[in-house]
Amino acid sequence: MDSMTESAPAPVGAAEEAPPSADVPAIALEGVAKTFRTGREEVAAVARTDLEIAQGEFFSLLGPSGCGKTTTMRMVAGFEDPTEGTVRLKGADVTRVAPDRRDVNMVFQSYALFPHMTVFDNIAFGLRRKGVPRDEVRRRVGEMLELVELSGRGRTKPGRMSGGQQQRVALARALVNRPSALLLDEPLGALDLKLRQAMQIELKRIQRDVGITFVYVTHDQGEALTMSDRIAVMNKGAVEQLGPPREIYERPASRFVAGFIGTSNLLSGTVSDASGGLAAFPAGEEGTVRAATGAAVGETVEITVRPEKIALHTARPDGAGTRSRVPGTVSEVVYLGSATHYTVAVDTGAQGGTELTVYTQNSAGTDDGPARGDRVWLEWGPEHSYVLPA
């Protein structure tokens, strides 16, 4: 298509410019904010945000649509100008640098493959813009095709490929440039569930192989938990929590995070008994919730408990113990083969009823378990009652 090589100056933030050092974050956002103006109204898409993404990290921006995650990524790529703040790539200020001069590459949600070019020309596009010699272009594109398992498909037009294949071409087209960071905007959104799960593992493998920083935008918490080293959970233009997947899941920093990551079972009450770092509050007339917290008697606490931490009993468990015990009525049973999901209506007294979700593994045998309408007892350890920050 275009054999002419145009040599461009080295992009800002390229490895040659700043010597790679593990201390310098691959991407740094310093007080970055973005406001959109629609008519007379100003809408804050991203509130003042500070983020540091380390080199070689798989970092996810997770949140519902409209939370500002895509805008944040587009500011890193250079498609949106921040209203305030500084964007740094490997330490270099790129806030006012055009996208074609930034050493990051993006995988678009729609893939944005050039339909009039072959797969080979698509992948070679970035290299040719940099004036990479013809032989090296051929070699590196070949390597990329191999990496994404599309060897021999170089002459195909993208329109003749399946969604999964196009996805991999888009990935190869970005990765072949060896950017200091790869930005992925919901890249698996258009794929069906099976393919999406396969691609999640594939993406993680590729990221490990090439060792490039990945910034992954998604609204799918499962995707983020599966692949990420760290996750930033965003809501209404701000980062609500930043941490590794386990921490985000086990110790959500807010109601929003608890609800957005997996199913959250929320219970709240006034502490009626506190001793030895253990606080208890009643749930209904017979139930007691216990949490490992230093809260004093009379304080109101809200806890969340993950569905898989709860044990389901058909009769009241024996002994006093330090575990939470709450009775309820099964209102829904969803059999999933390897597991069963129960929804249990719990009487929490003063605040009226609430529903808790319980996941049980079907490892015991052929027992049918409780049915809809059965009275059951829920039980979990105090360490699994995670107290939400007030």
Partner 1 sequence: MTATSAMSAPTAPARRARRRIDWGKYVTWAVIVWLLSPIAFMIVFSFNDIKGRHNVAWQGFTLHWYRDAFAYPDLTQALVNSLLIAVLTMAAAGVLGGLLGLALGRYTFRGQGATDLVMFSAISAPEVVMGAGLLSMFLTMNIATGFWTIVISHVMFSVSFVAITVRARVLALDPSLEEAARDLGASAWTTFRLVTLPMLAPALMAGGLIAFVLSIDDYIITTFVSGNTTTFPLWIWGTTRVGTPPQVNVMGTLIFAVGVLLAVVNAVMARRRG
Greatest C-alpha distance within the chain: 81
CB of 213 to partner 1, least distance (A): 16
Residue 128 three-state SS = helix
100 binding partner 1? (CB under 8 A): yes
Under DSSP, the state recorded for 154 is T
Applying the rule CB under 8 A, the residues between 66 and 85 that interact with partner 1 are: 77-79
160 binding partner 1? (CB under 8 A): yes
CB of 331 to partner 1, least distance (A): 45
Residue among 112, 210, 278, 345 that touches partner 1 (CB under 8 A): 112
How large is the angle between the packed helices 119-129 and 134-147, nearest 10 degrees? 130
Residue among 108, 204, 302, 341 that touches partner 1 (CB under 8 A): 108
Which span sits near partner 1 by CB under 8 A: 96-104, 219-227, 329-337, 361-369? 96-104
Strands of 186-338 (E only): list them: 213-218, 230-235, 238-243, 265-270, 273-275, 278-283, 287-291, 300-305, 311-313, 324-335
Of 237, 236, 232, nearest to 46 (Cα)?
237
Which span sits near partner 1 by CB under 8 A: 33-41, 44-52, 126-134, 318-326? 126-134
Which residue, 120 or 125, is less far from partner 1 as judged by CB?
125
**CA atoms of 67 and 81, how far apart (whole Å):** 17
CB of 105 to partner 1, least distance (A): 6
116 binding partner 1? (CB under 8 A): yes
CB of 386 to partner 1, least distance (A): 40
Under DSSP, the state recorded for 102 is B
CB of 57 to partner 1, least distance (A): 21
Q: What angle do CA 258, 262, 264 make, to 5 degrees?
A: 50
43 binding partner 1? (CB under 8 A): no
CB of 110 to partner 1, least distance (A): 5
C-alpha distances in Å from residue 380, one per residue of 290, 291, 292, 322: 9, 10, 12, 9
Backbone angles phi, psi at 389, to 5 degrees: -60, 135
Structural contact between residues 105 and 174, judged by C-beta atoms closer than 8 angstroms = yes
CB of 69 to partner 1, least distance (A): 16
Structural contact between residues 160 and 207, judged by C-beta atoms closer than 8 angstroms = no
CB of 298 to partner 1, least distance (A): 56
Count the site residues for partner 1 by CB under 8 A.
Answer: 33
User: Looking up tokens 């599309």, which residue turns up?
Assistant: 150
Which residue, 127 or 267, is less far from partner 1 as judged by CB?
127
Per-residue x/- track, 2-41, partner 1 (CB under 8 A): x---x-x--x------------------------------
Residue among 115, 152, 337, 389 that touches partner 1 (CB under 8 A): 115
172 binding partner 1? (CB under 8 A): no
Residue among 99, 189, 349, 369 that touches partner 1 (CB under 8 A): 99
CB of 106 to partner 1, least distance (A): 5
**CA atoms of 322 and 109, how far apart (whole Å):** 49
Cβ-based neighbours of 131, under 8 Å, separated by 6 or more: 5, 6, 7, 8
Positions in the binding site for partner 1 (CB under 8 A): 1-2, 6, 8, 11, 77-79, 98-101, 104-106, 108-110, 112-116, 125-126, 129-130, 157, 159-160, 173-174, 177
